[in-house]
Amino acid sequence: MADEGMQSWKELALGCAVTTPGNAKDFNTGDWRSTRIPVTDREKCIKCGMCYIMCPDMCYTPDPDAEGFYLWDTYYCKGCGICITECPKDAISWKEEEETA
């Protein structure tokens, strides 16, 4: 009866860790973004795919309607700016995100 309510550390759930592979797709990590979004200028874009390759959150996907271009997904983008830094033609830039209330 004295041990009631007490658990061994070995029985506790692991905290602060991802325990299910591939579960990031279940979280709207785009909510972490501040006030800027990356915007692609398709006139400058050479369709190299560096935005797609270098994005740590896989925010870019091939655009099925425009061969060679990539679409940006607000759901996952945290606004790190890696796509902007890695674009060889400076085709991606920051734009202030509009407030949604």
16 part of a folded domain? no
Output the domain CATH number for residue 77: 3.30.70.20
Amino acid at 21: P
11 part of a folded domain? no
Domain span including residue 77: 44-101
Q: What proportion of the chain, given as a percentage, has pLDDT over 90?
A: 43
2 part of a folded domain? no
Q: What is the pLDDT of residues 16-51, one digit of tens each?
A: 666 776 666 677 777 777 788 899 999 999 999 999
Residue with tokens 């945290």: 78
19 part of a folded domain? no
Q: Global pTM? A: 0.69
Indicate the number of domains in the chain: 1
Q: What is the pLDDT of residues 4-18, one digit of tens each?
A: 678 887 887 777 666
66 part of a folded domain? yes
